[in-house]
Amino acid sequence: MAEQLLRAAGAVEVASAGLIGDEMDGFAVAALAELGLPGPPHPPRALDELKLGDFDIVIALSDDAEVVARSARGDSVERWQVPDPSGTEGNREQRMDAYRAVRDLLARKIRRRFGGETT
């Protein structure tokens, strides 16, 4: 979600990755669609697929990602405290609410850090 929100803000060039590559998260795609944003243009990549040295800054959304990124990037890593909505239990609407909350939190953090509109 962060990648697409940053793309919408138009503030920076962006690429995203996780600790491991994975499949598209349908709830994340649905949460973005509610704002008229497309889903990610590719399945989530693994962090080791990116050359971290090519980026001015790395924003880590988990403690584990921060450790990996800092080992490659040093001080040019920011850690944003963002919950992982994928473990949310309940019905579809309860799970969507968790994704919406994370989407909106990310949008606020992006506006504060980079400016621009995210929706």
Q: Tens digit of pLDDT per residue, the chain (119 long)? A: 988 998 888 867 788 887 777 778 899 999 999 999 987 777 778 877 877 778 888 888 888 888 877 777 667 888 999 999 999 999 999 999 999 999 999 999 999 998 866 55
What pLDDT, in 10s, does the model give residues 42-70?
777 887 787 777 888 888 888 888 887 77
CA dihedral 32, 20, 16, 39 (to 10 degrees): -20
Which CATH number applies to 2-114? 3.40.50.2300
Average pLDDT taken over every residue of the chain:
86
User: Which run of H or of E encompasses 18?
Assistant: strand 17-18
**Domain spans, the chain:** 2-114
pTM equals 0.85
Q: Rounded to whole angstroms, how far apart are CA atoms 45 and 66?
A: 16
Q: DSSP letters along 47-116, please?
A: GGGS-GGG-S-EEESSHHHHHHHHHHHTTSEEE-----GGG--SSHHHHHHHHHHHHHHHHHHHHHHH-S
